[in-house]
A and B are shown apart, each in its own frame.
Chain A
Amino acid sequence: MVIVLGLFVTGLLAGILGALLGLGGGVFLVPALTLLFHMSIRTAVGTSLVGVIATSAGVAAMMPPGRGADVGLALRLEVATTAGAIGGGLLAGHVSPRTLGILFALSVFFTAGYTLYKARTRPSTTPETLFTREYTIRHWPFGLGMSFLAGMASGLLGVGGGFIKVPIMYAIMGVPLGVATATSNFMVGITAAASVFVYYGRGDVHPLVVIPTALGIFSGAMLGVRLMSRLRVAWVRSALVVLMIFIGIQMLLHSLGG
Chain B
Amino acid sequence: MSRQTEESLQLETLMRRIAAVVSFVAVGLMAVGFVDVALSTPIHQFPGPAAIPIGRLIHGTGVAWGLWAMSAGIVLLALLPLLRVLLALILFVKQRAWVNTMAGLVVFVELLMSIHVEG
Contacts and interface: CB of A to CB of B under 8 A. Distances in A.
Contacts of B13: 65
Interface string B32-61: 011001000001001111110110000000
Interface string A42-74: 010000001001101110111101101001100
A93 interface: no
A4 B74 contact: no
B93 interface: no
B12 A209 contact: no
A4 B30 CA distance: 14
Determine which residue in A43, A78, A208 has the highest number of CB atoms from chain B within 10 A of its CB, and name it. A208
Contacts, number: 171
Given A66-B9, A68-B16, A189-B80, A207 B71 contact: yes
Contacts of B19: 57, 60-61
A112 to B, nearest CB: 28
A4 to B, nearest CB: 7
Contacts of B16: 60-61, 63, 65, 68
Contacts of B74: 50, 200, 205, 207, 210-211, 214
A215 interface: yes
Determine which residue in A40, A200, A203 has the highest number of CB atoms from chain B within 10 A of its CB, and name it. A200
Interface in A105-139: 133
A133 B74 CA distance: 34
Contacts of A50: 74, 77-78
A211 B34 contact: yes
Contact of A196 (B22, B70, B78): B78
Interface string A28-40: 0000000001011
Interface string A193-227: 11111101101111111111011001000000000
Contact of B31 (A39, A201, A215): A215
A186 B16 CA distance: 12
Nearest to A133: B5
Contacts of A208: 34, 37, 43, 46-49
Interface in A66-103: 66, 68, 71-72, 75-76, 78-79, 82
Interface in B71-119: 71, 73-75, 77-82, 84-85, 88, 92, 97, 99-100, 103-104, 106-107, 110-111, 114-115, 117-119
Nearest to B70: A207
A106 B71 CA distance: 40
